[in-house]
Structure 1
Amino acid sequence: MNVDVVPAEDASASISRIVAEVAAAFPGERISLGEMAQAFGDRAFGMLLLLLLLPGLLPGMASVFGLPLLILGVQMGLGLRVPKLPVILARQTIKRSDLLRLASASSKGLSRIERYVKPRPGFFIGPTGEKIIGWLTAYVALMLILPGPGTNGPPAFGNIVMALGLIEHDSKTVAWGVGLTVAGCVFATIVLCALVWLGIEAMGYIV
């Protein structure tokens, strides 16, 4: 399936604009992950990462999208150029209305970063750089799947910046996203480890 989308060079890298491309390509009420993976070619990884990460900024929604995000991250880490989603995940759909609502809410917080993004070649727009993006994304997915107060937003925000850079072929923005993602993952890991330690200590008092 071939879909004509607006080239990255023709407009600023806003989430609203990118999501508008998706919405225009699929006018139905719901959009499946499989359709998007087929439609956007070499931009599919970046598009899918972005769309799966947006809920990570909202409480209570992140864990639902953690598994497909983990699968995409591992595939990128292994060097795949195009996503290969299992059938059960490819059939999963997103409401167009929810997608547009998430895009609008997220773009407000990322507006400064979006104005900065533009096509820039470099290390992270290449096979090795994309593998790094993939494995970091897989770790972010684990942070989204595991329950913890305040552990979703920081890793997801950095990963969204990475995804924007990936979509727009902007190595510099990806580099900033890598830094933010690592910092967010360190924070989330510390919080989760602290919770585990407190749980073990609490069990010791009970026993």
Structure 2
Amino acid sequence: MLILFALPSALPVPAAGYSTVLSIPLFIIGFRLLCGYNTLWMPASWRGKPFRPEQFSRKVINRMLQLIQYVERLTKPRLVSFARSRWIRVVLGILIIALACSMLLPIPGTNTAPAFGIFLIGFALLEDDGVMLLVGMAASLVALAISIAIILFGYAVVKGVISSLF
């Protein structure tokens, strides 16, 4: 589910607001990981609904498939005990929550990198790949640093404009 909700925002194509919507289930998944759950909770109205690829544009689907095929070649079970450990799930929960919060912001540059970090984490968990999990965590930390820098820059610009007006 992490892959499904993160992948559309991880692609370097213009996000017409869907990353904000997709970040909400990512936030819920991160919170469940933080609380120690290994199962996914979905609202009753979502359960059993099929995923229809035709709802996405053909270009987005092709880019998704290319990225998935590339990452699948890189993943295999490695450092399995690390990938399955309870404490790492708590850390991942915190990280995914922070990344989802970054994706919630309607600010350019705060969507693609965090979504890509979540995508890598999702693939690592799917394949029990602790090495890929470490790569995903590192990418996620870089993404958070970029998001924080963008937010601080925006704050400084707005503060400067306001102070110059008054």
TM-score, with structure 1 as normaliser? 0.68
2:71 matches 1:117: no
Give the deviation of 1:92 after TM superposition.
8.1
Residue 179 in structure 1 maps to residue 111 in structure 2: no
Partner of 1:134: 93
Q: Percent identity?
A: 22
The equivalent of 1:189 in structure 2 is 148
Q: Aligned residue for 2:119?
A: 160
Cα separation, 2, equivalents of 1:64 and 1:193: 23
- Asked if the contact 1:66–1:144 (Cα under 8 Å) also holds between the matched residues in 2, the reply is yes
| Aligned partners of 1:162 and 1:177 also within 8 Å | yes
1:105 to 55, 63, 81: 63
Answer 1 or 2: higher relative contact order, Cα 8 Å, separation at least 6.
2
Report how far residue 165 of structure 1 moved. 0.6
State whether structure 2 residue 33 is matched by structure 1 residue 69: no
Unpaired stretches in structure 2, ≥5 consecutive residues: none
Task: For structure 1, list consecutive stretches of 5 or more residues without a partner in the other structure.
Answer: 1-47
152, 158, 161: which one aligns with 1:202:
161
Q: Which moved more, 1:122-131 or 1:95-104?
A: 95-104
**Over residues 128-183 of structure 1, what are the superposed CA-to-partner deviations in whole Å (9 max), with x where a residue is unaligned?**
11222221111111111012222211111121111101011111111111011111
Match of 1:53 in 2: 6
Shift of 1:206: 2.4
Do 2:34 and 2:93's aligned partners in 1 also have CA atoms closer than 8 Å? yes
Over 3 Å counting, the alpha-carbon distance change for 1:79 and 1:100 in structure 2 is farther
* Letter of the 1:154 counterpart: A
Partner Cα distance (1:64, 1:99) in 2: 15
In structure 2, C-alpha distance between the alignment counterparts of 1:178 and 1:110, rounded to whole Å: 18
User: Matched residues in 1 for 2:86 and 2:46: separation?
Assistant: 25
CA contact (8 A) 2:31 2:97 kept: yes
**TM-score (norm. length: structure 2):** 0.83
Contact in 1 for aligned 2:114/2:143 (Cα 8 Å): yes
Separation in 2 of the partners of 1:84 and 1:56?
22
Residues 89, 67 of structure 1: alpha-carbon distance in 2 compared, 3 angstrom cutoff: farther
Instruction: Show CA shifts across 1:59-80 (max 9, x none).
Output: 2221111111111111111111
